[in-house]
Amino acid sequence: MFPTYIPNELIFKILDLLPLSDQISFSATHKEANDFTSDYHFWLPRIKALDPDSKLSPTRQHFIQVFKRTLEETAFLTSHAQKIANLLKNQPERMIDVTQKLAQLNQLCLNPWGENYAHHLALIAELLESINETLIEAQLPTSTFSLRLECITRLPASTLARHRDFFAELGKLECQGNFLDRLPDNIDICQNCTSVNLYDNPMRYLPESFAKLQKITYLYFSDGFMPQIPAAIYQLNNLQWLSFSNMHLSELSPEIKHLKNLTWLYLRDNQLSVLPENFYQLTKLRELFLDHNPLSPLQFHRVLELLRKIQCDVHETFKTQFMLLKNTPLKKLQADCRNEVEDLVERFDLLSVKEALTPLRQHTHRRTLTASCSEVGTKIKVPPRLA
């Protein structure tokens, strides 16, 4: 008589014998299969094989995310093959080594799902680490004043550790136009660094150890994915210039008040709609770029008033954006303000613990709210042609 129940251990064994593409297909067949293959012991070794430092929870979605990143790194290096050849043209041994490893990497990425999938995935990760280590070591200059890196997809912790003396004295780290999504945990080796340029990199993660780089005065990010500025940045007491453009930034922490020496702030092309109250404590600001953020009319008005007081040069596009709002019909602008005030009042009502309003008190409450909204409207400056 055949058993009606198959032990989980046997299912795991059967799945391990299947190509990884079939394992993923099995997990997508129905909810029970997906829950089963999302098990900690199933996806953890696969994620760790590709990314030993990953802090993601072991799920099918996160494995796909890590593997997709691996494919993108391979594509980036392949598309820059000619530029890599130019970088290594005077170093034939390194050129041969990188060429062979890149070819092997492309072959593995085409079909990494052999019987020993864990070994193949780990080999892909090792090849990416090795290629990047070789490229970085080939670009190390004799001077520690500045380091300009090209054609890299990661900054291996092993490279920083191996060349600790060099990176400990490094003054500027220029990584613009690469494919970095994180910095290593031992980035605090670069203790004398005053400038870090990560423009045009898909950055997603910044380690807590970055906060130890207290000499940094210039820091640049763009074209990544960080909905919030990492907490480590708010601890950089000497930071004067900060760029965080097109980073999907949706919120500024009140901790921004600690950046008291900030004079240049570039936050254009993000999703900021509200600025924290502590933002207005940045009295040393001299240039501000907030273009293409969905700030409300009240936020626009308040920011401009503050920056005029501290004599900050507001970017012209931001002022144009404000003028377009200012020149909208008065009734529409008043309605926008009224909606914003009503929304705030509703939020405070939800948070309050006062007793429910009686019908009479509700009527009085509505009259008070209408009056307060009218007062807000009267404070809006009306263009002469509308007065």
pLDDT digits (tens, 9 = 90+) for 33-48: 666 665 666 778 888 8
pLDDT at 153: 98
Indicate if the pLDDT at residue 344 is higher than 60: no
pLDDT at 231: 96
Q: Spell out the domain ranges in the chain.
A: 8-127, 142-326, 333-378
Residue 116 or 210, more confident = 210
Looking at the domain covering 142-326, what would its CATH class be? alpha beta
What would the mean pLDDT of 128-137 be, rounded to a whole number?
97
Count other C-beta atoms under 10 Å from residue 39's C-beta. Answer: 14
Residue 227, φ and ψ in degrees, nearest 5: -60, -20
pLDDT digits (tens, 9 = 90+) for 300-338: 777 777 777 776 665 555 554 454 444 444 444 455 545
Non-local CB neighbours of 336 within 8 Å, separated by 6+ positions: 296, 297
Give yes or no for a contact between 223 and 246, defined as CB atoms under 8 angstroms apart: yes
Indicate if the pLDDT at residue 121 is higher than 70: yes
Non-local CB neighbours of 35 within 8 Å, separated by 6+ positions: none
Confidence of residue 186 (pLDDT cuts 50, 70, 90): very high
Indicate if the pLDDT at residue 290 is higher than 80: yes
pLDDT at 23: 72
Residue 253, φ and ψ in degrees, nearest 5: -80, 150
Q: Does the model's pTM come out above 0.75?
A: no
pLDDT at 308: 75
pLDDT > 90 fraction of the chain, expressed in percent and rounded:
50
What would the mean pLDDT of 216-224 be, rounded to a whole number?
97
- Which of 2-16, 26-40, 332-346 is the least confident region? 332-346
Residue 171 or 375, more confident = 171
Residue 241 or 384, more confident = 241
For the record, the structure tokens of 360 come out as: 């009479």
pLDDT at 91: 95
